[in-house]
Amino acid sequence: MAKTVLITGTSSGFGKQTAKLFHENGWSVIATMRAPEKETELTQLDNVIVDYLDVKDTESIRKAVKAGTDTFGTIDALINNAGYGVMGVFESATEEQIRQQYAVNVFGMMQVTQAVLPYMRAQGSGTIINISSFGGVVALPFGSLYNSSKFAVEGFSEALSHEVLPLGITVKIIEPGGVVTNFRNGLTMINNKIPVYNPLLASFFGRYAQTTQHLPKASPEMVAATIYEATTDGKQQLRYVVGEDAQFYIDAKTKNSDEAYTRLIRDYFVNDPVSQ
């Protein structure tokens, strides 16, 4: 009997590639998104249902999970992929931007997980994959909202992994780096009205690109392949890094003292390059 996976945020990017990969490997797929009426590719696949799910809408989560279990009987894996980034000057962030970042990346992920856990607990098995980022380990300037939300994903996932292990449920974290698209694609930028931040803000994205320009970036297909591997490899490994740039930043933090790491990041992005 085919196993079933529920994936959030499948309208594009990692989510769509992951849905296609699981389907290619014989899984039944519950592909969820906020605008299923616009989807034309996944709807053509056998054993794939495309359903409405907005992680900020508890009722939509409940309905999508019920539709999936009514159709396929079970949920063997959950991929919490839905998320987005808000970046920019924290002092200029609106209350709505702060709440929205957490509503999607943290609270929405938690609500979907809570909705699926009873099914996994009843069957005594299941795998939950939460999509984080290297930005869930390393924080950069102007990432206060995004980074802190992904730090929350990391802490939630690690704690939950211990909590549900005796129930036969595994929790894992995927940490991609920049994906072969421009770093700003898909980001919501905070409108800064405080001029003193502008010099650092103006230089940040160029310095960010330059720091890892020599390293290969992951593709959506590579991220999907890692998600599939993490779901099916049977290991107790908690974290999976995707992309050499992600590994570069994570190594900078984990292989240096806290003082050396902090100095390194500030030399990359904050300190005047001429005076270094």
Verify whether residue 132 is a known catalytic residue: yes
Among 3, 11, 119, 146, the one annotated catalytic: 146
Among 3, 16, 20, 150, the one annotated catalytic: 150
Rounded CA gap, 260 and 123, in Å? Answer: 47
- Cβ–Cβ under 8 Å, residues 104 and 97: no
Which residue in the block uniquely carries the two structure tokens 């502008």? 198
Name the phi and psi angles at 15, rounded to 5: -60, -45
Rounded CA gap, 132 and 243, in Å? Answer: 13
Angle between helices 13-24 and 220-232 (to 10 degrees): 50
Verify whether residue 203 is a known catalytic residue: no
Rounded CA gap, 160 and 171, in Å? Answer: 7
Rounded CA gap, 215 and 157, in Å? Answer: 28
Single-letter amino acid, residue 9: G
Verify whether residue 217 is a known catalytic residue: no
Among 11, 28, 119, 132, the one annotated catalytic: 132
Which residues have a catalytic role annotated? 132, 146, 150
